[in-house]
Structure 1
């Protein structure tokens, strides 16, 4: 058995929720006759999702959503799965990256599954002739949802898209535990640097930032949070972290991880204030949070070790991990989120794909929440796989919770 298949087999044994969905899909074939176009991180957990969709009868066309997150052996293994066609290649040029996006769209898909919205963006800006065939889509990550909501607000989003990222079973597990564990693990493995006792700066205190701060604190780091939202800043303060501006954090930080989804979070003025040997990384989707173009244009760099580029600024070494791309997947040792976490997120993707095919024709263009029954069903399947039982409301309790006229 080749390495790609071995990785997929390893992931499959720790993904019981998708396993249950796959059994249902194999029996019922709810996706028969459909073409699903995907742009996701090509690694073993994603491959299990793709297998599940193919088992449901779909023809699946997939490429990467980040030039450095593809594992070539998994991409090759996916291409050997019946009904699956994979076009991704690690470390491809931007030109080849978007050429692969076009190859997916050339197949005229009926459903899109995105991580970052590149497929949907390309459909609306360069492949509009394909829009009439699209029933709907699903979006995996925070950055993609931000872009989609901006499109919808402008009246530019022409088909319904399920905001998979925004449902509790995604945010509370994938974003908090997944990003928290995998980003921190990637930083440690890539740098071989101690976390305990360091000033660890987390830019952004959304769900991803909260998870990362919690994990770093657990390893003994002195955690700093930077924020633009006063409510989240106050929450970070009440959670016990140091809260300050990036201008102040730049002076003391040893390790930085950005999680904002925004651009130029760390820029020239911050680089010049930083310590010698500082480590900078990004856990947001796109490589825009750290101003890499300024570094490349103004300072000489050299590869210090795998996935670390060092730039000399004012006689100080600034170390950038994975070109400022998604650190938990783009480093040479990055494996992405833990398998059990992605089992939940990809279960949502599979069920939402089925849902959008059934309900999409009756929906207008826009961003839609994951139906509550899908979110709850994923949690229920997971609890069953763990052997965990929970309580249920009695008839009396249901009546009480649904009434307004019962006094104290």
Structure 2
């Protein structure tokens, strides 16, 4: 088996952590994997997955393989790989993995190309690097692809742009758009794991600080909520008037970044856009300001501008780089501007990824059944899959809910009953 991981001797540790995560993923482990083992809905299908190589992802890969698929995995971010997990997937589960934490850009893309050489029938993306590389460098292979999935807001934005330009050659299910994904994974997962990453990187007290959140989408809502819960004074910056209004109604201060930059102690970007924090903001930041990003790519902070402005740079902690400016002020960049929740911490808790990866597994099954009937475009997760994931999660949590009575169904479907 061809693979490229850091050290196979880490495999036992990784296996233990994979099994620990599995305990908190009952939907994927029990409700989906057990059926996949019996039915083999993915038999004969080659799946190339460019995802964060974490314990939760490992359990998704195991489920897909149990469903009959031939699975290949590479990292969707150079700093998010858990090397022990990568080793365990190779050694104990016979799944080829191409991922090493801290790999350079050339290695990162060489790993993506290794997956594409396997001529996948389904692609799974976390940021759309796999699918964009496939379209740019291996266009002849697109005809063999039945369909793909995309996990992130950033990736969905890229794929919709491809579809709009007529460049997308096969259908893609936007797993990120599933209600059981973005309402929970983005809000509760990103919220908790981002704070976790900032704390592990800095060991700073959040209580009493001024915490600036750039972007008030579902991820921003989660980060702002958790920062406030830790005792911070939270400021939200936005470009969308509706989201800005919502942030204010939720009790947060709202202002332009140029004003927030003057008072913030800790900054976190979650917008999916470029240069959200840039030179004019660095120029007015307080000495000791901490800047981080929890969006998918390391473009939300204008790091080249910070490099140009700095007269001195040094690494002060494992995930903390100190930039000293000409006037002596110091700005601290976390995790090289990459997503701090996966670079400096372990990413989302398994419980919330249980729903996201249940959507991935069921979307892959849907693609096998319906992919040939779909035109090249970006599609939301079918409603019956989204609802089924919610039902399975409630069942796993031991929660029962009401059902509509026949009378209630009739009332909701009638226009005549009224008052």
**TM-score normalised by L of structure 1:** 0.98
* 1:138 corresponds to which of 149, 154, 164: 149
Gaps of 5+ in 2: 1-10
Partner of 1:273, secondary structure, is coil
Note if 1:318 corresponds to 2:325.
Answer: no
Tell me by how many angstroms 1:123 deviates.
1.0
Q: Distance in 1 between matches of 2:17 and 2:227?
A: 28
The total of aligned residue pairs comes to 406
Partner of 2:96, secondary structure, is strand
Partner of 1:279, secondary structure, is strand
* 1:305 corresponds to which of 317, 338, 357: 317
Note if 1:162 corresponds to 2:169.
Answer: no
Q: Distance in 2 between matches of 1:384 and 1:205?
A: 31
Q: Is the Cα contact below 8 Å between 1:42 and 1:69 reproduced in 2?
A: yes
Note if 1:277 corresponds to 2:288.
Answer: yes
* 2:254 corresponds to which of 227, 235, 243: 243
Q: Distance in 1 between matches of 2:137 and 2:322?
A: 37
Structure 2 CA distance for partners of 1:106 and 1:81, relative to 1, 3 Å: farther
Q: Distance in 1 between matches of 2:380 and 2:414?
A: 27
Instruction: Report Cα offsets for 1:244-294 as digits up to 9, x if no partner.
Output: 000000000000000000000001110110001111000100000001122
Tell me by how many angstroms 1:407 deviates.
2.1
Q: Is the Cα contact below 8 Å between 1:196 and 1:220 reproduced in 2?
A: yes
Q: Is the Cα contact below 8 Å between 2:78 and 2:103 reproduced in 1?
A: yes
Q: Distance in 1 between matches of 2:178 and 2:41?
A: 23
Q: Distance in 2 between matches of 1:158 and 1:63?
A: 22
RMSD: 0.9
Q: Distance in 2 between matches of 1:296 and 1:95?
A: 22
Task: Report matched runs for 1:356-371 at 5 Å.
Answer: 356-371=367-382
Tell me by how many angstroms 1:297 deviates.
3.6
List 4+ stretches of structure 1 deviating above 6 A: none
Gaps of 5+ in 1: none
Note if 1:113 corresponds to 2:124.
Answer: yes
**TM-score normalised by L of structure 2:** 0.96
Structure 2 CA distance for partners of 1:83 and 1:355, relative to 1, 3 Å: farther
Instruction: Report Cα offsets for 1:285-329 as digits up to 9, x if no partner.
Output: 000000112222442210011100010113111000000000001
**Structure 2 partner of 1:178:** 189
Q: Distance in 2 between matches of 1:348 and 1:108?
A: 23
Q: Is the Cα contact below 8 Å between 2:211 and 2:235 reproduced in 1?
A: yes
Q: Distance in 1 between matches of 2:241 and 2:404?
A: 38
Partner of 2:36, secondary structure, is helix
**Structure 2 partner of 1:13:** 23
Task: Report matched runs for 1:242-391 at 5 Å.
Answer: 242-299=253-310, 300-313=312-325, 314-331=327-344, 334-391=345-402
Structure 2 CA distance for partners of 1:307 and 1:193, relative to 1, 3 Å: same
Tell me by how many angstroms 1:76 deviates.
1.0
Q: Is the Cα contact below 8 Å between 1:59 and 1:83 reproduced in 2?
A: no
Q: Distance in 2 between matches of 1:350 and 1:224?
A: 37
Q: Is the Cα contact below 8 Å between 1:58 and 1:83 reproduced in 2?
A: no
Instruction: Report Cα offsets for 1:346-368 as digits up to 9, x if no partner.
Output: 01000000001110001110000
Partner of 1:36, secondary structure, is strand
**Structure 2 partner of 1:93:** 104
Note if 1:192 corresponds to 2:211.
Answer: no
Note if 1:76 corresponds to 2:87.
Answer: yes
Partner of 1:286, secondary structure, is coil
